[in-house]
Amino acid sequence: MPFVRPDLPTLIERAVADIESRFRGADARLRRSNLTVLSRVHAGAVHGLYGYLDWIARQILVDQCDDDILERHAAIWLPSGRVPASYAAGAATVTGSNGTVIEAGTVFKRQDGAAFVSEGEATVAGGVAVLTLVAREPGQTGNTPAGAPLGIESPIDGLNATATVGSDGLSGGADIEDIESLRARVLARIQQTPHGGAAHDYVAWALEVPGVTRAWCYPLEMGDGTVTVRFVRDDDASLIPDAAEVAAVQAYIDTLRPVGMQLYVVAPIAVPVAFQIQLTPATASVKAAVEASLRDLLIRDAEPEGGGNEGKIPLSHIREAISLAAGETDHVLLSPVADITLAVGQIATFGSIAWA
C-alpha cells in the first residue's frame, strides 16, 4: 500500500485529538486557547519534516531527483560525469603580403561578436596564410559555416582585415549536456551493466563525447572482429556529423574499446523525407504544429539502417504524428505512400512539406 503524505489540516486534527486525549476536559479547539496554538505549531513543524522526507525520497531515485542531485548521481555512475561544453575549431584563410606573420593568440570576430583565437603562428606565403582557429567561448554558438567572414580585432600591417572560414567550417562546438540527456545516460548505466565491449558499451562511449545526442552500434558489419558506430548531433545546424566530429568520436572510443577489435566510426547518410499533406484546417499555426510533430517523430524513431530494417519509418507512425498535432481535425497524406525504407547506413531526416 503506497504511503500518503498527510496534509496540514490532517496533522492539525491529529495534534488536537492527541492533546485532548491526554488532558481530560481540555478543549484544544478554542480560538484563543494555548492548546490550540500548541497543536498548530506542532502540526506545522511535523508538516515541514514530512516535506523534507518527501524531498529526500525523490533524491534517492535518479528518475525523480533534482538537477543538482542528478549530477552527483552521474559522478558516481558515469566516469566522465556530465558532458561539458566544447569549443568550435577549424581552419580559416587570410590574405596579405608575403612574409607577414600572424602570431598565436590573434583574435578574429564574427559579425555577431563571437570571437575566435588563432593557435600557433602562421606566415603569409603566396599571398595566403592558413590559420587554425578555436572559439574563445565554448558552446554550439561557435560553430560557423564555410565561407563566413571573420574580422581581425587588431589590424596587422600587410594583412587583409578579413579572414574566411575554410571549407570544413568551424565545428565541434557543443553546449553542456542537457540535464534530461544526462538523466537518460545515468538510467542506462544502471540498467545496462558495462561489459567492456558489448554493443551498448559503444553507444555509451559515443554519448560521452560533447555534442553527440544519439548513437548506434552495429557489430560485425565490416566483417569478423569489427564494430561500426554511427551517431548524430541533433543540436547542430546539421545533425549529420562532419569529418572532424567523426574523428573526435573515433579517437575517444579508441581509448576505451577492447584491444583487437577494429572500430569504424562513420556518419549516417541523410535521406530527407519530403511530405505532401492535405490539411484541415490549413492555418499557419496548425501547419507549424504538424511540422513540429513530424520533426519530433523523426528524432524519436529514425535510426541508421543496419541491414535489419532498423531504419524503417512506418507510414502509420507518420499519419499518427500528423493527427496528434494541435489543432488538426483531418488530413490526407499524399506522400509518402508507403513505409520509409532505407539502404544500409542511411537515416531518415526531415526534408520538406508541400501543402496540397
> Is it the case that residue 33 has pLDDT exceeding 90?
no
What are the pLDDT digits (tens) for 97-149? 999 999 999 999 999 999 999 999 999 999 999 999 999 999 999 999 999 99
What are the pLDDT digits (tens) for 153-199? 999 999 999 999 999 999 999 999 999 999 999 999 999 999 989 99
What are the pLDDT digits (tens) for 287-312? 999 999 999 999 999 999 999 999 99
CB 214 within 8 A of CB 232: yes
* pLDDT above 70 as % of the chain: 100
CATH topology of domain 192-266: GMP Synthetase; Chain A, domain 3 (3.30.300)
Summarize the confidence of residues 234-261 as an average pLDDT: 95
CB 229 within 8 A of CB 207: no
> Is it the case that residue 318 has pLDDT exceeding 80?
yes
> Is it the case that residue 235 has pLDDT exceeding 90?
yes
CA dihedral 182, 187, 189, 192 (to 10 degrees): -150
* pLDDT (0 to 100) of residue 1: 65
* pLDDT (0 to 100) of residue 116: 98
> Is it the case that residue 240 has pLDDT exceeding 90?
yes
CATH topology of domain 89-165: Elongation Factor Tu (Ef-tu); domain 3 (2.40.30)
Sketch the domain layout of the chain as residue ranges: 8-60, 89-165, 192-266, 269-355
Could you tell me where the DSSP H helices lie in the chain?
8-22, 34-60, 67-77, 179-191, 199-207, 243-254, 284-301, 315-323
What's the whole-number average pLDDT of the chain?
Answer: 95
